[in-house]
Amino acid sequence: MPDYLLHLDRQLFHFINHDLGNAFFDLLMPILRNPPTWIPLYIFIFIFCLWRYKKQGLVIIVLLALTFGVADRGSAGIAKLFFKRLRPCNDPAMAATIVSRIGCGTGYSFPSAHASNHFAIAVFLSMVFYRRYKWVLPASILWAAAISFAQVYVGVHYPVDVTAGAIYGIVVGLLFGWIFWKTNPAFNYET
């Protein structure tokens, strides 16, 4: 990474992690970025798709699972092992100023799998449901962005990590959304 981008990334990280620190975010952000927090939403999506759309709902669930799998494998399983960027909480250059709000964990930082996974899911669901439910697009993008922001706030990712993860996730979500529409062109016109 070029020095100027690395410097900007660290400054923005410090601003989010340190300068924006407050008691409300200290309580909310660790919960927001924790995967079990979202289990009720995932269960709702699963039940809603099967109940409302039957066979097409099953197609949505399968493609959603593939969307998640490709986003996660690409970011956590391939890119992180290639780039091997230390997490901010493990980076000696950041040790003096970082505010760690959760355990640092293992693994590398770039790109953020949380960002790629949630943006992939958000974009896929937006592509599937936007014609029927306009609110899905802003709600899902806000959801993915909040989780990504939380990753920086708690100290486990740099802003460039979540930005790259988001971009990758958007591409994956668009790909699987396109696959859905190619295989189900009449979806929003039925039922």
Q: Is 133 left (phi over 0), alpha (psi -120 to 50) or beta?
A: beta
Residue 170 is inside which H or E element, if any?
Answer: helix 159-183
Inside any domain, residue 98: yes
> Band of the pLDDT at 191, cuts 50, 70, 90?
very low
Domain that holds residue 108: 35-189
Here the tokens at position 140 are 């899902």
pLDDT tens digits for range 48-86: 999 999 999 999 999 999 999 999 999 998 988 999 998
C-alpha to C-alpha distances, 166 to 48, 70, 136, 142, nearest whole angstrom: 26, 13, 17, 12
C-alpha to C-alpha distances, 157 to 55, 64, 108, 121, 165, nearest whole angstrom: 39, 25, 9, 20, 11
Task: Say how many domains are in the chain.
Answer: 1
Inside any domain, residue 148: yes
Inside any domain, residue 56: yes
Inside any domain, residue 28: no
Average model confidence (pLDDT) for the chain? 91
Inside any domain, residue 135: yes
For residues 41 and 54, what is the distance between their CA atoms, to the nearest angstrom?
19
Inside any domain, residue 157: yes
Inside any domain, residue 24: no
Work out the average pLDDT over 36-47: 93
Inside any domain, residue 164: yes
